[in-house]
């Protein structure tokens, strides 16, 4: 297994879950592996875990019996650091403690001076870890995802002094393992952990502000967004304490940047000992059988006719969907200047707040007294939309992003002065209805916009290419699409509109639009890196 990487023998430091998983991947791929741990009693447990996991893979048809036997034969263990002296690559998988890793790397550099030294850290600086070695150009990050035998992605992290040759060799080696590498710069969180921070933080803000409960946020993320798990389900799985520690680390590493500010709810959960699945209680109670999610209402739709107001691609999609449902539709590409005889109007200006206001003012003036005005609350709250009209009681909001074919529910909202029940009219779109509190962006559009924005910041800072960011988010955290793919799918101007609405509503720098995303809106495409 030489290939172009020149790596023949691999050492792995640390026989915990990640270390054992990395050793297993390397051995099964045909590399002789020395698994080291300073505590000898840990090693037999690690080998037993590898034996059990590879046996399960054979039983499931994912691994041939002869490949398993060969892999186990390639695996050896040691508690003597000197046994790693003949390794071409040593992968460190010790606990996330900077002082511990620095001490270990200093010893490894003396033990195997010609070896490439790679850290599996997910949050610490490669540069700081490399600082205790005489040859920092031979130190890089090799960040596997848990469980290493299953997850396809590996982040190859280039430190400020890592040589291009070492990066190239690690990329080739990762490919020889059957994994998919991306190259990332040494920046806090690298790609996946950084770009995915808003997935958690926006969920926490929604719950903290009383706009939705945990189950509602998670349901919207899954059924409106297509995420495999919602943010609170995922935080409970990873560990609430782990997430809180990572949030604090990011906030510190970015010198207090508002986008990474931890939420008080995280601290409260940790102090109360509700750490997630591992303690039986987190945002959910795992000591009780999981409750069945309540069925979402799907009212009988009002017969219409309907208006669709807006000049966006989303407006055209809304009109087409209503017609497919058998409803009569009046399309308005510009604000009306005369009477409009419809039962309800879907306002669909999800990109430009000024045009949204102009449409709502004109619609309110020309609609019949009993007509309902359904505002797209991606970029403005229902209350703000209602404030632009003379009859705010008729205004309610719906929150979604195109294409509607991707959605399995429709978020909707209302405001304190609302009088009309909008649900029979919203039901005309043929989606179950999930009610949320009133703020721009709802749940899914808000989370998505923040993730896309963070990806745009990261690419502009040279952390990784847009293509690698998209690949990393699909493989590393199972997002349906990468953030740049997703922005193209829903429309970059619609994404920017969500951020504009949030920034105007909260008055916070946290929601400032990344310059790269602004340029994409101006140019109609993503600018070159």
Residues noted as catalytic: 122, 143, 155, 193
Q: Other CB atoms closer than 10 Å to residue 376's CB: what's the count?
A: 29
Instruction: Specify whether the CB–CB gap between 392 and 415 falls below 8 A.
Output: yes
Q: Which residues pair with 181 in a beta bridge?
A: 154
Q: Is 280 left (phi over 0), alpha (psi -120 to 50) or beta?
A: left
Rounded Cα distance, 406 and 498, in Å: 18
Q: Is 114 exposed, middle or buried (0-12, 13-18, 19+ CB in 10 A)?
A: exposed
Q: Is 513 left (phi over 0), alpha (psi -120 to 50) or beta?
A: beta
Q: Is 206 exposed, middle or buried (0-12, 13-18, 19+ CB in 10 A)?
A: buried
Biggest distance spanned by C-alpha atoms of the chain: 86
What are phi and psi for residue 136, nearest 5 degrees? -60, -15
| Total residue count of the chain as it appears in this document | 529
For residues 122-149, one letter each, b for 16 or more C-beta atoms within 10 angstroms of the residue's C-beta and e for the rest, the string is bbbbbeebbebbebbbbbbbbbbbeebb
Rounded Cα distance, 373 and 287, in Å: 45
């Amino acid at each position: 297994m030489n290939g172009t990487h020149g790596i023949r023998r691999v050492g792995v430091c640390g026989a915990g879950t990640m270390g054992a998983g990395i050793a297993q991947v390397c051995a099964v791929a045909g590399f002789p592996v020395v698994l080291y741990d300073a505590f000898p009693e840990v090693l037999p447990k690690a080998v037993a875990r590898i034996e059990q996991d590879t046996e399960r893979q054979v039983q499931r048809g994912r691994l041939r019996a002869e490949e398993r036997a060969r892999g186990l034969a390639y695996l050896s263990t040691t508690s003597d650091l000197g046994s790693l002296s003949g390794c071409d690559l040593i992968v460190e998988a010790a606990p996330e403690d900077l002082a511990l890793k620095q001490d270990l790397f200093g010893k490894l550099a003396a033990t195997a001076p010609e070896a490439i030294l790679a850290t599996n850290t997910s949050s610490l600086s490669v540069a700081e870890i490399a600082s205790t070695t005489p040859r920092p150009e031979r130190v890089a990050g090799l960040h596997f995802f848990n469980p290493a035998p299953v997850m396809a992605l590996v982040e190859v992290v280039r430190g400020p002094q890592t040589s291009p040759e070492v990066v190239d060799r690690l990329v080739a080696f990762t490919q020889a393992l059957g994994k998919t590498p991306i190259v990332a710069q040494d920046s806090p969180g690298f790609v996946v952990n950084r770009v995915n921070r808003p997935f958690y933080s926006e969920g926490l803000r929604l719950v903290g502000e009383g706009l939705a409960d945990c189950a509602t946020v998670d349901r919207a993320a899954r059924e409106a967004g297509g995420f495999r798990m919602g943010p609170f389900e995922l935080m409970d799985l990873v560990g609430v304490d782990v997430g809180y520690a990572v949030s604090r680390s990011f906030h510190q590493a970015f010198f207090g940047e508002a986008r990474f500010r931890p939420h008080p709810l995280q601290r409260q959960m940790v102090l109360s000992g509700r750490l997630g699945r591992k303690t039986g209680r987190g945002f959910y109670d795992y000591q009780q059988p999981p409750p069945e999610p309540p069925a979402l209402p799907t009212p009988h739709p009002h017969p219409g006719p309907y208006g669709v107001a807006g000049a966006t691609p989303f407006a055209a999609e809304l009109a087409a969907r209503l017609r497919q449902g058998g409803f009569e539709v009046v399309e308005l590409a510009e604000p009306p200047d005369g009477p409009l005889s419809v039962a309800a109007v879907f306002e669909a200006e999800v990109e430009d707040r000024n045009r949204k206001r102009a449409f709502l003012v004109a619609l309110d003036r020309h609609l019949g007294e009993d007509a309902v005005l359904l505002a797209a609350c991606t970029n403005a709250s229902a209350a703000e939309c209602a404030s632009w009209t003379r009859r705010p009681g008729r205004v309610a909001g719906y929150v979604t992003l195109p294409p509607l074919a991707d959605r399995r529910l429709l978020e909707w909202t209302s405001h304190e002065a609302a009088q009309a029940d909008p649900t029979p009219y919203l039901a005309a779109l043929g989606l179950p209805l999930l009610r949320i509190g009133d703020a721009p962006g709802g749940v899914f559009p808000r989370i998505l916009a923040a993730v896309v924005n963070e990806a745009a910041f990261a690419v502009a800072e040279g952390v990784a290419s847009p293509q690698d960011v998209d690949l990393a988010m699909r493989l590393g955290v199972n997002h349906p699409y990468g953030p740049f793919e997703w922005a193209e799918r829903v429309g970059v101007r619609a994404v920017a509109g969500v951020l504009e609405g949030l920034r105007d509503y909260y008055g916070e720098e946290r929601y400032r639009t990344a310059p790269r995303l602004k340029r994409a809106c101006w140019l109609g495409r993503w600018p070159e890196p």
